[in-house]
Structure 1
Amino acid sequence: MRHRKDETMTTCLIIDDAPVIRKIAFRLLSREGLSVDTLEKPAEAVEWIESHGAPNILLIGASAQDKTVVGDIKLLREQAGSGMHVIAMIVEANLGLMTRLKRAGVDSYLYKPFDRDALEASLRPHLQPEPAVA
């Protein structure tokens, strides 16, 4: 499921190993007018960013069992820069995991499973227009 990146559109990259999560998020975000792409593994995102540029928003699945996700997020954050907003999709409020994710560059969290309202609420702060500099 790929949409071409349009410079005027907000871009969102979804990374999750669960096909149903990628499919639901893709459908909901595409309906909101975002340019959306999905990947199964964070390792695929390095090449994606090299060829497409950094997305405005990165939604990435994370769990305490995944021992590489924190390192993956650090790498993607370094590659993409501070302009990319990172939202970690997690199943439970695990303080240790959330702290490590925050240190790696995660801006906020979205609990799985999510519905349209929860997804929109997590994205809203990152979709606001940048304040004009006088």
Structure 2
Amino acid sequence: MKSCLIVDDSKVIRKVARHILETLQFTVDEATDGTEALEYCAAAAPDVILLDWNMPVMSGMDFLRAYRAAEKSNAKIIFCTTENGIGHIQAAISAGADEYVMKPFDRETLEAKLQIVGCM
């Protein structure tokens, strides 16, 4: 069974994403910011990370840069955010994101992104 770490400061987004991912047969863990996510990733190796852009403590971009610089950094990363400017998308991909999905998202959209990154 594939695993996913949801990194988002919104409890509602984490709940919705968890429900979708569990129906897609993923085991799911959650973190509320980039710092928690880095600590989690140091101890475990998720297959995919669903990552919010704007979070307190450590942003999604800061997490992404730190994670990709780490030795164990082979999870697929899907940025999940309301930031929809082409500059944001290019910055995320350049920093090491594998895909990008806009909030709000539905099961079909998330499933398609997971297929694109090879996690389905």
Which TM-score applies when normalising by structure 1?
0.78
1:5-84 superposed matches below 5 A: 9-52=1-44, 54-63=45-54, 68-79=59-70, 80-81=72-73, 83-84=74-75
2: CA distance between counterparts of 1:24 and 1:68?
20
The amino acid that maps onto 2:6 is I
Structure 2 gaps of 5+ residues are none
Q: Which residue of the partner structure matches residue 132 of structure 1?
A: none
* Inter-CA distance 96–85: structure 2 relative to 1 (3 Å threshold): same
Counterpart check, 1:124 vs 2:105: no
1: CA distance between counterparts of 2:7 and 2:66?
14
3-state SS of paired residue (1:110): strand
1:45/1:76 contact within 8 Å kept: no
3-state SS of paired residue (1:62): coil
Quick check: which has more Rg, 1 or 2? Answer: 1
Structure 1 gaps of 5+ residues are 1-8, 129-134
Q: Which residue of the partner structure matches residue 99 of structure 1?
A: 90
2: CA distance between counterparts of 1:74 and 1:58?
14
RMSD: 1.8
* Inter-CA distance 22–67: structure 2 relative to 1 (3 Å threshold): closer
1: CA distance between counterparts of 2:103 and 2:46?
21
* Inter-CA distance 67–51: structure 2 relative to 1 (3 Å threshold): closer
Aligned residues: 116
Deviation at 1:77, TM superposition (A): 2.0
Which TM-score applies when normalising by structure 2?
0.87
